[in-house]
């Protein structure tokens, strides 16, 4: 087939004289002779997102003069045609046609990627999307659910632009969102260190780190705006670490070869969140943001197919409320708590995202979960949550287990101290397997390697599920350096130890202290014990380039969407993505949608749809309150967590996943029958809130397992035992180079799969190697 | 300015200013009194000067009295406000774990000092005012030392006097550095302030006690 | 471990509360304090009693949600930690533990051990920000160097997690450490200078309006602060307010 381009021309749907700005334009495809009508429908839907009206087109009505684009003979043609031209897109007809033919990607997913070269796409897009005038913004309401980095920054910026924002969080203050717990840092392609960093390199690292499962254009945009984030945050008063010259300091992070991570000790997330929170405060004071603390979103309300509002529960007095708006933005974070034990906060939940999914938003790549290698190991059954130790520790810590399994046994039983194991009896397995990156391999690789050693019987704590993270050699290295600087004897062991420990304390003091408080061991003297734990979920609600979900008017940003991290996220990229989405992407792209809403007027919240959704939410709560069950919510949550960890955790296989789907389904039935929720619904009732969240986790878990089952390859955080090399490395498959977006149709296991093919035009898809 | 005094920090600042003023006065008072240990003449000379100089009598003295009254009234007012702010009582509190007794009980040490001041006024100031401005007795530049010694003949009075000074010491141990903090001392001076505070807060009351006991013993 | 817990129970903000006594055993010293309460709640739910409500979220000492007054001290007996970081190994078998909410007039109890700390939010609304547009079109981040000492001091002040331990532990329920930390963070950075006067005046006024008490420099807040925020920040705020008022 020829390499002809498929182009659209845009025509007015009614005579030009009657045309208003807000009217829809008609899109015509000039070149589609090869396709039959069904394929044409699919192509049009896929490439434009517009429902097709073939009948109209065949009558050639669009060829009449008064509906055609203005001819170039008209002196004002350029101006008049501007709006039309901006909309013209082109596609490779062969590719489009063959993919529709083979149905290898879904006709119902249009990622709305703008035209042009990769590095121009975002600029072009910003130049051509529709804007809302300041006077009209005043009449438009936007709901933002969640106030973490993404939600907080989006709410602040939208309010700054002039929209009326209603922001919701379940915590008692926006400042408590779990973004606050991010420790290590935030990436930005500033190249302050002059070590060869660039927008392209950040883009490249992120795509490669994500194991080629992220959307190229989104990632490039992320890398492009990353530098702005740092400027913005510094101007906001975020106290990033600085060197003695007064300029910003950087550190390096796993999976990359440059230092591009900005940090504020081990509390970068906190400082950035407080920055976004302060921007919100400014808008709250101006009355542009109305803040609803201690409110949990229970449902999305759709009117005429568009997202128009949410139903919430006031967690203090139990009141169910209806809130309406012209658009809804979900920034409700990830769903790591489906594993019960994770580094997520106790309250982090999937409810908002899942409710959106049930109302028509596709859920993408649920099985892509990041298991973070450096967490404090589980100490017993009572454990309620896991604590992360920043990945930055891997800059100086060396990871090892004993070489001999009898040593490992003795260490486990407490007979042998790790410091007594000789250097040659230690297995620095990351350095051994990945000499190029060593201890700084990406998180998924490091986690699996630790699991592999523990499964082989070399684990070092009571449960055999821990490896050592050792700072002894870093202490000596720094100590000697410092002794030289001070002009002291570098062979004086005691002095070197003292100086080295001081440096380590300066760099990681708060982390070491945290470790000591939890484990009751002194990490300066004995190696730390770490084990991987669920940390972040790359999957999430499917969004297009504009961050809009498959429900018009419903947006998802931050960890709640799926777009930027592919199958594995690099360290210090979550903060970058949250803020990029919130500060610099969504506020522009949402205008494109809202420009069509300027004459809508206020959205009433007492229409049939709202009342129905409210009634459903109330009924669900009634079920919980009246269910005289016998088992606590936590019982089910823990059980779900066990299934997820054992069967959908770091390594998965067909048999386990199939049984997980069955088990979760059975557990869900048991839950609805036997769950016990104490207290009443019209008061502060944490058990009731938890019950609602766990109910959604029980559905998500099943979809998670199904997604993992259908993805018959290993990539990033998703490792299928069937698909690995002889050396135990992941085997990625070309035919799975797509995004799985699931459509809800009832039981999660019956969800319909839609595929969005991922194309890498600017980056060569290679075997990801860190050796 | 008006707004400043209306703020909590403004009040605290005013409280600190009055405290510093009173501490300067106390130092001056002490320096004059201590001369009584060495020389009755110097003491008489200084006392006479203070008692008769119109500048001291009609300008400094009223300012001092205003300062004392302000310090107490403000102290009570702030205490009242603070109690209102923390109207809920804990069932169990371990204040000692995180702060000194002195800092938590300024109101009580202050009240003891107030009652001492009442006694002190009855002892010295009222008779003095009576002598000078009510009965218009003739000036006697040598009467001060005798009067001082006479007051410290009674051991019970000396005991009460000393107890009051111990409480004053406690009050000052916190009050000295606290007043400087309220006025915003830079952290560079924190340890210097702390040392000065300890010297002042223990030294001055100890000195006053020493004077009282010295005269008590001399009288024996 | 076996423990006797004396816990403040209060139905809602309108009703009066009281201390209730609970006995609990099978507590492992490796548990965190909140996990111990989880065990208690599991027991209460199984016995058809209402579980104890308390605020908690991140459970790693950074979100500032947890707010328990344990045995007479905010965040319990250990130093430089939040309640969630307190471990049961700090207690002895057979101990009696008093658990109360953070109390202040400005922190009304919502239920049991949960209090309403939105007064802190309102103080921040009054001025806890730098008024710059969020467009990102500011100057380059390295355009204004900040000397390391100031940047570090600003960071130390900025580590405040807004838990309210300072208020809870202060005999005057004063919020000066909280406000002082925020004022300090911005006043130490060149970016915050432009509106420093307006900020400190507005924040202090709002603080007074919320009904927090005054500072008498007892220093209890500094000791109980889980992030070790220094009292020096209060002195700096005082200076800033004087500067702003007499300018």
Which of A560, A723, A647, A584 shows the shortest CA–CA distance to A211? Answer: A723
Per residue in A313-326, pLDDT (tens digit) is 999 999 999 999 99
Question: Any idea which residue has 């109209």 for tokens?
Answer: A56
Q: Is-catalytic flag, A453?
A: no
Per residue in C52-78, pLDDT (tens digit) is 999 999 999 999 999 999 999 999 999
CA dist B52 and B138 (Å) reads: 12
Residues C155 and C176 both lie in one domain = yes
C232 to chain B: closest CA residue: B187
ipTM score assigned to the predicted complex? 0.98
pLDDT of residue A53: 47
**Binning pLDDT at 50, 70 and 90, where does residue A490 land?**
confident
CA dist A70 and A84 (Å) reads: 10
| A382 contacts C128? CB cut-off 8 A | no
> Residue C169: enclosing H or E segment and its boundaries?
helix C165-169
Sequence ranges of the domains in chain A: 5-110, 373-534, 620-745
Q: State yes or no: chains B and A have 3 or more CB pairs below 8 A.
A: no
| A267 contacts C55? CB cut-off 8 A | no
Q: What is the DSSP string of A73-135?
A: TSTTHHHHHHHHHTT--EEEHHHHHHHHHHT-S-TT------SS-HHHHHHHHHHHS----HH
Does C149 reach chain B within 8 Å, measured CB to CB? no
Largest pairwise CA distance in chain A: 92
Residues C71 and C128 both lie in one domain = no
| C60 contacts A277? CB cut-off 8 A | no
CATH class of A620-745: mainly alpha
User: Once rounded to an integer, what is the mean pLDDT over residues B176-203?
Assistant: 92
Nearest CB partner across the interface for C128, out of A177, A281, A383: A281
Cβ neighbours, 10 Å, residue A67: 16
**Binning pLDDT at 50, 70 and 90, where does residue A699 land?**
very high
| A346 contacts C57? CB cut-off 8 A | yes
Nearest CB partner across the interface for A678, out of C51, C58, C142: C51
What CATH number does the domain containing C219 carry?
Answer: 1.10.1060.10
> Residue A447: enclosing H or E segment and its boundaries?
helix A443-453
Number of domains chain B is built from? 1
Residues C216 and C192 both lie in one domain = yes
Per residue in A224-273, pLDDT (tens digit) is 999 999 999 999 999 999 999 999 999 888 778 899 999 998 899 999 99
Does B37 fall in a domain? yes
Per residue in A334-381, pLDDT (tens digit) is 999 999 999 999 999 999 999 999 999 999 999 999 999 999 999 888
Per residue in C76-113, pLDDT (tens digit) is 999 999 999 999 999 999 999 999 999 999 999 999 99
The gap between the terminal CA atoms of chain B, to the nearest Å, is 56
Distances (CA, A) of A266 to A300, A506, A513, B218, C152: 37, 11, 12, 67, 13
pLDDT of residue A251: 87
**Binning pLDDT at 50, 70 and 90, where does residue A2 land?**
very low
CA dist B166 and B168 (Å) reads: 5
pLDDT-above-90 percentage for chain A: 73
What CATH number does the domain containing C45 carry?
Answer: 3.10.20.30
pLDDT of residue A92 exceeding 70, the answer is: no
Residue C219 to chain A, least CA–CA distance (Å): 23
Distances (CA, A) of A468 to A374, A402, A500, A728: 10, 9, 19, 21
Per residue in B19-64, pLDDT (tens digit) is 999 999 999 999 999 999 999 999 999 999 998 899 998 999 999 9
Distances (CA, A) of A233 to A229, A264, A325, B121: 6, 12, 29, 62
Does C204 reach chain B within 8 Å, measured CB to CB? yes
Nearest CB partner across the interface for A584, out of C45, C136, C161: C136
A375 to chain C: closest CA residue: C60
Does B179 fall in a domain? yes
Question: Any idea which residue has 């006025």 for tokens?
Answer: B183
pLDDT of residue A296: 97
Per residue in A289-301, pLDDT (tens digit) is 999 999 999 999 9
More confident residue, A4 or A552: A552
pLDDT-above-90 percentage for chain C: 95
CA dist C38 and C23 (Å) reads: 14
Does C93 reach chain A within 8 Å, measured CB to CB? no
User: Once rounded to an integer, what is the mean pLDDT over residues B51-78?
Assistant: 93
In DSSP terms, C99 is beta-bridged to C7, C70
Largest pairwise CA distance in chain B: 62
Decide yes or no: CATH 3.30.200.20 for domain A373-534: no
User: Once rounded to an integer, what is the mean pLDDT over residues A742-756?
Assistant: 88
Which residues, other chains included, contact A379 with Cβ-Cβ below 8 Å and sequence gap of 6+?
A519, C30
Average pLDDT over all residues of chain A? 88
pLDDT of residue B26: 95
Residues C132 and C70 both lie in one domain = no
| A192 contacts C32? CB cut-off 8 A | no
Number of domains chain C is built from? 2
Residues C100 and C132 both lie in one domain = no
Nearest CB partner across the interface for C100, out of B90, B100, B186: B90
What CATH number does the domain containing B162 carry?
Answer: 1.20.1300.10
CA dist C165 and C181 (Å) reads: 14
Range of the domain at B139: 2-80+101-219
pLDDT of residue A309: 97
Residue B103 to chain C, least CA–CA distance (Å): 5
Residues C74 and C98 both lie in one domain = yes
Range of the domain at C63: 3-111
More confident residue, A508 or A401: A401
**Binning pLDDT at 50, 70 and 90, where does residue A685 land?**
very high
| A246 contacts C146? CB cut-off 8 A | yes
pLDDT of residue A23: 46
CA dist A383 and A387 (Å) reads: 10
> β-pairing, A363-364 with A164-168?
unpaired
pLDDT of residue A127 exceeding 80, the answer is: yes
More confident residue, A79 or B39: B39
Which of A49, A51, A54, A55 shows the shortest CA–CA distance to A87? Answer: A49
Does B202 fall in a domain? yes
CA dist A254 and A438 (Å) reads: 10
pLDDT of residue B2 exceeding 80, the answer is: no
Residue C239 to chain A, least CA–CA distance (Å): 20
User: Once rounded to an integer, what is the mean pLDDT over residues B4-13?
Assistant: 93
CA dist A548 and A543 (Å) reads: 5
Nearest-5° Cα angle at A395, A391 to A397: 90
pLDDT of residue C37: 97
Per residue in A418-455, pLDDT (tens digit) is 999 999 999 999 999 999 889 988 888 899 999 999 99
CA dist B68 and B117 (Å) reads: 10
Spell out which residues of chain C touch residue A584, defining contact as CB-CB under 8 Å.
Answer: 136
**Binning pLDDT at 50, 70 and 90, where does residue A68 land?**
low
**Binning pLDDT at 50, 70 and 90, where does residue A769 land?**
confident
In DSSP terms, C98 is beta-bridged to C6
pLDDT of residue A108: 66
| B85 contacts C212? CB cut-off 8 A | yes
Nearest CB partner across the interface for B8, out of C103, C201, C204: C204
Residues C241 and C134 both lie in one domain = yes
Which residues, other chains included, contact B171 with Cβ-Cβ below 8 Å and sequence gap of 6+?
B102, B106, B109, B110, B113
**Binning pLDDT at 50, 70 and 90, where does residue A58 land?**
very low
**Binning pLDDT at 50, 70 and 90, where does residue A757 land?**
confident
pLDDT of residue A200 exceeding 80, the answer is: yes
CB B218 within 8 A of CB B211: no
Largest pairwise CA distance in chain C: 64
Q: Which of A260, A412, A443, A652 is catalytic?
A: A443
DSSP helix/strand/coil, A701 = helix
Spell out which residues of chain B touch residue C208, defining contact as CB-CB under 8 Å.
Answer: 7-8
B188 to chain C: closest CA residue: C232
Which residues, other chains included, contact B113 with Cβ-Cβ below 8 Å and sequence gap of 6+?
B164, B167, B168, B171
- Count helices and strands (H / E) in chain C: 9, 7
Per residue in C151-168, pLDDT (tens digit) is 999 999 999 999 999 999
CA dist A19 and A412 (Å) reads: 77
Residues C123 and C103 both lie in one domain = no
pLDDT of residue A380: 85
CA dist A554 and A331 (Å) reads: 11
Task: Please give the DSSP secondary-structure letter assigned to residue A395.
Answer: G
Per residue in A272-288, pLDDT (tens digit) is 999 999 999 999 999 99
Kindly report the backbone phi and psi dihedral angles of residue A504, in degrees, each rounded to the nearest multiple of 5, phi listed first: -60, -40
pLDDT of residue A56 exceeding 50, the answer is: no
C97 to chain B: closest CA residue: B92
Does C91 reach chain A within 8 Å, measured CB to CB? no
Residue A405 to chain C, least CA–CA distance (Å): 27
Which residues, other chains included, contact A415 with Cβ-Cβ below 8 Å and sequence gap of 6+?
none
pLDDT of residue A17: 56
Cβ neighbours, 10 Å, residue A104: 13
| B100 contacts C213? CB cut-off 8 A | no
pLDDT of residue A116: 84
């Amino acid at each position: 087939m020829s390499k002809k381009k498929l182009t659209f021309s845009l025509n007015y749907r009614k005579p030009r004289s009657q045309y208003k700005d807000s009217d829809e334009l008609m899109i015509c495809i000039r070149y589609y002779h090869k396709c039959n009508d069904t394929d044409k429908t699919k192509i049009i839907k896929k490439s434009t997102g517009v429902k097709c009206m073939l009948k109209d087109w065949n009558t050639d009505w669009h060829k009449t003069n008064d509906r055609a684009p203005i001819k170039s003979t008209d002196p004002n043609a350029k101006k008049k045609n501007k709006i039309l031209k901006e909309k013209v897109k082109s596609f490779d007809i062969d590719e489009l046609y063959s993919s529709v033919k083979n149905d290898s990607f879904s006709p119902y997913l249009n990622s709305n990627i703008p035209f042009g070269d990769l590095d121009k796409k975002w600029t072009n897009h910003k130049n051509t999307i529709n804007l809302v005038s300041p006077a009209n913004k005043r009449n438009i309401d936007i709901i933002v659910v969640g106030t973490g980095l993404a939600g907080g920054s989006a709410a602040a910026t939208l309010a700054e632009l002039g929209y009326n924002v209603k922001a919701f969080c379940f915590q008692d203050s926006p400042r408590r969102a779990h973004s606050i717990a991010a420790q290590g840092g935030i990436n930005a392609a500033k190249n302050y260190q002059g070590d060869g960093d660039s927008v392209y390199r950040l883009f490249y690292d992120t795509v490669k780190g994500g194991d080629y499962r992220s959307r190229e254009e989104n990632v490039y945009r992320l890398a492009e705006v990353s530098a702005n984030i740092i400027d913005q945050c510094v101007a906001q008063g975020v106290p990033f670490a600085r060197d003695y010259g007064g300029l910003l300091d950087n550190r390096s992070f796993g999976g990359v070869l440059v230092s591009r991570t900005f940090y504020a000790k081990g509390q970068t997330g906190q400082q950035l969140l407080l920055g976004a929170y302060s921007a919100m405060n400014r808008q709250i004071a101006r009355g542009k943001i109305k803040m609803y603390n201690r409110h949990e979103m229970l449902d999305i309300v759709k009117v005429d197919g568009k997202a128009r509002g949410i139903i919430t529960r006031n967690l203090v007095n139990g009141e169910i409320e209806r809130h309406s708006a012209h658009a809804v933005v979900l920034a409700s974070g990830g769903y790591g708590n489906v594993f019960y034990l994770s580094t997520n906060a106790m309250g982090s939940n999937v409810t908002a995202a899942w409710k959106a999914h049930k109302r028509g938003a596709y859920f993408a790549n649920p099985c892509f979960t990041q298991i973070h290698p450096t967490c404090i190991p589980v100490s017993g059954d009572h454990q309620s949550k896991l604590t992360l130790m920043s990945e930055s520790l891997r800059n100086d810590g060396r990871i090892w287990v004993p070489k001999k399994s009898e040593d490992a046994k003795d260490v486990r039983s407490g007979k042998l101290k790790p410091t007594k194991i000789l250097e040659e009896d230690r297995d620095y397995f990351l350095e051994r397997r990945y000499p190029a990156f060593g201890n700084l391999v990406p998180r998924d690789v490091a986690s699996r390697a630790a699991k592999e050693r523990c499964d082989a019987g070399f684990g070092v704590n009571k449960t055999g599920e821990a490896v050592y993270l050792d700072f002894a050699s870093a202490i000596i290295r720094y100590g000697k350096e410092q002794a030289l600087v001070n002009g002291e004897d570098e062979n004086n062991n005691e002095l070197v130890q003292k100086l080295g420990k001081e440096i380590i304390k300066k760099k990681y003091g708060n982390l070491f202290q945290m470790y000591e408080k939890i484990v009751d061991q002194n990490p300066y003297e004995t190696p730390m014990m770490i084990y991987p734990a669920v940390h972040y979920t790359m999957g999430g609600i499917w969004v297009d380039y504009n961050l809009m979900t498959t429900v018009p008017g419903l947006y998802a940003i931050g960890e709640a969407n799926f777009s930027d991290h592919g199958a594995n996220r690099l360290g210090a990229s979550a903060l970058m993505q949250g803020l990029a989405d919130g500060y610099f992407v969504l506020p522009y792209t949402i205008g494109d949608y809202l420009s069509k809403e300027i004459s809508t007027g206020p959205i009433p919240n007492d229409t049939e749809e709202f009342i129905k959704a409210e009634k459903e939410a109330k009924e669900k709560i009634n079920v919980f309150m009246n269910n005289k069950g016998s088992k606590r919510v936590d019982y089910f949550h823990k059980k779900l967590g066990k299934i997820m960890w054992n069967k959908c955790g770091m390594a998965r296989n067909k048999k386990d996943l199939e049984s997980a789907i069955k088990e979760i389904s059975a557990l869900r039935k048991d839950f609805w029958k036997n769950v016990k929720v104490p207290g009443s619904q019209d008061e502060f009732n944490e058990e009731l809130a938890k019950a609602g969240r766990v109910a959604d986790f029980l559905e998500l878990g099943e979809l998670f397992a199904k997604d993992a089952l259908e993805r018959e390859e290993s990539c990033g955080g998703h490792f299928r035992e069937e698909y690995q090399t002889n050396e135990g490395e992941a085997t990625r498959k070309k035919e799975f180079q797509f995004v799985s977006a699931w459509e809800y149709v009832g039981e999660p296991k019956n969800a319909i799969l839609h595929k969005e093919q991922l194309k890498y035009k600017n980056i060569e898809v290679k075997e990801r190697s860190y050796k | 300015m008006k707004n400043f005094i209306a703020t909590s920090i403004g009040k605290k600042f005013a409280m600190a200013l009055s405290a510093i003023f009173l501490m300067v006065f106390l130092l001056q008072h002490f320096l004059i009194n201590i001369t009584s240990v060495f020389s009755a003449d110097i003491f008489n000379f200084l006392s006479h000067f203070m008692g008769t100089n119109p500048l001291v009598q009609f300008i400094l003295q009223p300012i001092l009295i205003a300062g004392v009254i302000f310090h107490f009234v403000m102290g009570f007012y702030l205490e009242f406000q603070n109690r209102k702010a923390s109207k809920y009582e804990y069932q169990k509190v371990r204040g000692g774990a995180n702060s000194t007794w002195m800092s938590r009980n300024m109101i009580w040490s202050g009240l003891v000092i107030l009652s001492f001041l009442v006694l002190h006024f009855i002892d010295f100031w009222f008779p003095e005012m009576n002598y000078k401005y009510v009965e218009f007795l003739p000036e006697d530049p040598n009467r001060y030392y005798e009067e001082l010694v006479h007051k410290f003949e009674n051991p019970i009075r000396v005991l009460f006097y000393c107890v009051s000074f111990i409480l004053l010491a406690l009050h000052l141990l916190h009050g000295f550095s606290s007043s400087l903090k309220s006025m915003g001392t830079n952290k560079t001076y924190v340890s210097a302030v702390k040392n000065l505070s300890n010297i002042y807060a223990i030294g001055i009351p100890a000195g006053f006690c020493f004077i009282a006991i010295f005269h008590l013993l001399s009288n024996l | 471990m076996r423990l006797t817990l004396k816990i403040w129970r209060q139905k809602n903000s309108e009703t009066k509360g009281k201390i209730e006594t609970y006995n609990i055993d099978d507590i492992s010293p490796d548990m965190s304090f909140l996990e111990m309460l989880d065990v208690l709640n599991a027991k209460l739910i199984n016995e058809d009693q209402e579980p104890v409500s308390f605020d908690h979220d991140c459970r790693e000492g950074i979100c500032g949600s947890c707010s328990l007054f344990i045995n007479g001290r905010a965040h319990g007996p250990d130093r430089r930690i939040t309640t969630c970081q307190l471990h049961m190994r700090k207690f002895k078998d057979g101990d009696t533990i008093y658990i109360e909410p953070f109390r202040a007039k400005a922190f009304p109890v919502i239920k049991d051990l949960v209090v309403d700390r939105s007064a802190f939010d309102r103080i921040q609304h009054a001025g806890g920000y730098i008024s710059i547009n969020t467009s990102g079109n500011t100057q380059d981040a390295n355009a204004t160097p900040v000397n390391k000492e100031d940047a570090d001091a600003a960071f130390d002040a900025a580590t405040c997690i807004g838990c309210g331990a300072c208020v809870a532990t202060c005999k005057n329920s004063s919020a000066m450490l909280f406000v002082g930390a925020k004022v300090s963070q911005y006043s130490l950075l060149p970016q915050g200078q432009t509106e420093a006067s307006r900020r400190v005046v507005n924040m202090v006024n709002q603080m007074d309006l919320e009904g927090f008490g005054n500072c008498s420099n007892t220093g209890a807040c500094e000791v109980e602060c889980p992030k070790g925020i220094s009292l020096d920040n209060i002195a700096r705020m005082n200076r800033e307010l004087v500067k702003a008022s007499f300018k």
